[in-house]
Amino acid sequence: MSSLQVTEALARAVASGLLTAEAAEAIVANEKIYLASTERAAPPERRGLPAVTEAIGYVGACLVMIGMVVFVGQYWDDLATWSRLTIMLAVTALLLGVGAFLPDDEPVTWRLRNFVWLLAVGALAGFTGVLVVDALEWTGPGVAISIGCAVTACSLALWQGKDRPAQQLSTFVGALIATGGVMALIDGDGAIGVSVVSIGAAWLVLGVGHVIRPKYAALPLGSLAMLVGPMIAAESWPNVAPVIGLAVAISLIAAGAARHEFVMTGAGVLGLFVFLPMTLGELFGDTVGAPLILLVSGALLLIVMLVVIRAKRRPDHSAT
């Protein structure tokens, strides 16, 4: 109700004898004081940061990383190990510090913090690699385990379970690298593939259950890992891995359809295109049976889909 409408309502109340003229004047005066105080207390409207600020941040962070890579690569043989480590550690600290000073209460600074910290984790991975290979002279899976653990630990500290998709990504990748290194000590590519599928499935379940945030990052990461795992295992298990991949793809389609999660369904369909021909190729070889089965099965599924849709849309006349 506007101030004019309030004044008119008070005038009618005075005319009807419901209020005295003095009471009406007191109400109007009190409302004027209240409105004046709220106008003074209202905070000034914040203006969003211009797009050029975000662009400058991206370019600056990229230039720091590119400069480090080019400098270290160009003078690799001339630099002592401690010099390489110092440069990489300095870049890591710089990017971590810049990200820490960026507030995350605006979309622009939120995106910049995600990006800068992602590059910082990449610089840390390089530092760890130089440390264990050049300084400690490690070889084999121990290098992957060290890099993966460092990336995972740093990313977890930056992520903290908040809405930071880039830090969730680096945490996920670090966990895959570390676990893959451990599995390489056990059974090579087969064990690595199984570990990737397992981590992807766990990530997917935690994302669906809103334990991992943000969900929109957890679902594609988990789904893709579940599909990549059988591809890795195929190097050691060429006959079994396609069947595992096909089962994973079907499970993703079913779970995605049941929960109305398009990302899971889409990933499952993608896996179906990859693993179904591989599985049929293992069963039928180069015979004509494989493509015929695909054609007939696809046509039947389309017919079933149309029948179900038409049955659902048909009006129910039993109640009339």
Please give the Cα distance from 34 to 40 (Å, whole number): 10
φ, ψ of residue 173 in degrees (nearest 5) = -65, -40
254-276 burial, b at 16+ Cβ within 10 Å, e below that, comes to: ebbeeeebebbbebbeebbebbb
pLDDT tens digits along 12-66: 777 777 777 777 777 777 777 766 666 554 454 555 566 788 888 889 999 999 9
- Angle subtended by helix axes 165-208 and 215-233, to nearest 10: 80
pLDDT of residue 42: 44
pLDDT tens digits along 178-231: 999 999 988 788 999 999 999 999 999 999 999 998 999 999 999 999 999 999
Q: Where are the domains of the chain?
A: 3-40
Grouping H, G, I as helix, E, B as strand and the rest as coil, residue 270 is helix
Helix ranges (H only) for the chain are 3-15, 21-41, 51-74, 81-101, 107-130, 141-159, 165-208, 215-233, 241-259, 262-284, 289-313
Grouping H, G, I as helix, E, B as strand and the rest as coil, residue 135 is helix
pLDDT tens digits along 245-296: 999 999 999 999 888 899 999 999 899 888 888 887 777 666 666 677 777 7
pLDDT of residue 288: 62
DSSP state of 212: S
Please give the Cα distance from 69 to 76 (Å, whole number): 10
Closest CA to 170 of 179, 159, 180, 160: 159
pLDDT of residue 182: 93
User: pLDDT-based confidence at 77, cuts 50/70/90?
Assistant: confident
116: amino acid identity, one letter: V
What mean pLDDT do residues 122-148 have?
94
Q: What is the chain's Cα-based Rg?
A: 31
Q: Is 140 exposed, middle or buried (0-12, 13-18, 19+ CB in 10 A)?
A: exposed
pLDDT of residue 319: 47
Indicate left, alpha or beta for 163 from its phi (over 0: left) and psi (-120 to 50: alpha): beta
User: pLDDT-based confidence at 171, cuts 50/70/90?
Assistant: very high
Of the ranges 45-54, 80-89, 100-109, the best mean pLDDT one: 80-89
Q: Residues 89, 92, 98, 104: what is their CA dihedral angle, to the nearest 10 degrees?
A: -150
pLDDT of residue 303: 79
228: amino acid identity, one letter: V
- pTM for this entry: 0.77
Mention every residue, 6+ apart, whose C-beta is less than 8 A from residue 128.
146, 147, 150, 151
Q: CB of 129 within 8 A of CB of 147?
A: yes
The two tokens of residue 282 are 């293992």
Compare 99 and 289 and report the one with higher pLDDT: 99
Compare 106 and 151 and report the one with higher pLDDT: 151
CA 242, distance to chain mean position in Å, is 27
pLDDT of residue 218: 95
Q: What is the residue whose two structure tokens read 């089962």? A: 247
Q: CB of 193 within 8 A of CB of 241?
A: yes
